A = this chain, B = another copy of it.
Amino acid sequence: MADVTLREVARASGCSVATVSRVLAGTRPVGAETARRVREAAEALGYRPNHAARALRGHRTGTVGLVLPQITNPFYPALVRELTHALHADGRAVLLADCDDDPAAEAEYVADLLSRRVDALLVIPADEERSRDAVAAAAARVPLVLMDRGCGPGVADSVAVDNATGMALVLDHLAATGRRRVCFLGAAGTASAAAERRGAYAAGAGALDPGAVARVALGDFSVEWGRAAVDEVWPARPDALVCANDLIAIGALQRLQQLGVAVPGEVAVTGFDDIPMAALSSPGVTTVRQPVPELAAEAARLLGLRLSGDDTGPRRSIRLAPKLVVRESSARGPAAIPAPAGTGESAPFR
């Protein structure tokens, strides 16, 4: 079962290696009878092209590097799944690197992947700023698409969810179900998801309640922060906690439960991303579902374009609209309880 080379297939089918190459690659027309013999021989011998040789010769390896900050972040496995499927469908293989949220490690992985001659890179940057140099340098060498998080303007093509629309969906839903005293449990820092969701809340929350814009607690995208944040904002007696992602929402839910606060009765809680846990927690978390398969498809499409020579266009930044998924954590707000139409501002706490 040693490696079968083109030469052996050529010998077995009585023609030259060039012909065999042409038949198998379909590069140029070949006589029908010859082609048949070649294909038979290749099949019989179990010929498998040697990608290393192909890569050396053709300057393309058929591989794409995927660099992400933390595969254990529960949002990423679904994205990785869709990305690998989309890329494999195009005949590309995926080299995976998890940089553990460390921009230095990320830079090393990017360099290593480049030296392995990946045809392109898909990067979810670890840090908006500290990832920029490595990403920009890499983007100058191969097509590179940023996903999920940005990395400064104009650095590379990018594909992400439209955070502003997502946040607006949440605020509209809360307004429609009678919530007014909303507050925001978000993430500090410049990471685009953090900043955009924060900004969208600030832009939209004023319509519900002028005071809402100021009711903001900022930490990170974790369950622990969600728990802690509740203690910061609960004294203000909000009727809705708008969380910047599902992990924060789940932490908030836990802490509220400890405090004996009824959800959604007393306060609604919403998340963002729709990670698997959001559906499984109880109450289920109302959240904004990212269009993961479509995000992956767009990223793959962009890479494909850049790889097939359409490399000329300007940087593209694609934003896909998310969808609101309503679950129990925000069901039946005060307004749903038959009551005289009011501002909601004066809704009773209970």
Residues on A lying within 8 angstroms of B by beta carbon are 1, 48-53, 55-56, 61-63, 66, 70-72, 74, 76-78, 80-81, 84-85, 88, 93-98, 100, 109, 111-117, 140-141, 223, 250, 254, 257, 276-277, 280-282
Q: Which residues of B contact A111 (CB under 8 A)?
A: 48
Q: Which residues of B contact A117 (CB under 8 A)?
A: 50-52
CA of A88 to CA of B93 in the docked complex: distance in angstroms?
Answer: 17
Interface CB pairs A-B, < 8 A, 5: A1-B140, A72-B77, A84-B98, A88-B109, A254-B282
Q: Which residues of B contact A250 (CB under 8 A)?
A: 280
- Asked if A93 and B81 sit within 8 Å, CB to CB, the answer is no
- Asked if B52 and A61 sit within 8 Å, CB to CB, the answer is yes
CA of A52 to CA of B53 in the docked complex: distance in angstroms?
Answer: 7
A-B pairs, top 4 by smallest CB distance, nearest first, are A52-B55, A48-B115, A96-B96, A52-B56
CA of A72 to CA of B62 in the docked complex: distance in angstroms?
Answer: 25
CA of A223 to CA of B277 in the docked complex: distance in angstroms?
Answer: 11
- Asked if B71 and A80 sit within 8 Å, CB to CB, the answer is yes
- Asked if A77 and B71 sit within 8 Å, CB to CB, the answer is yes
Residue of B nearest to A137 (CB): B1
Find the residue from A52, A81, A88, A98 having the highest chain B CB count within 10 A: A52
Name the contact of A84 in the complex, choosing from B97, B114, B277, B282 (C-beta under 8 A). Answer: B97
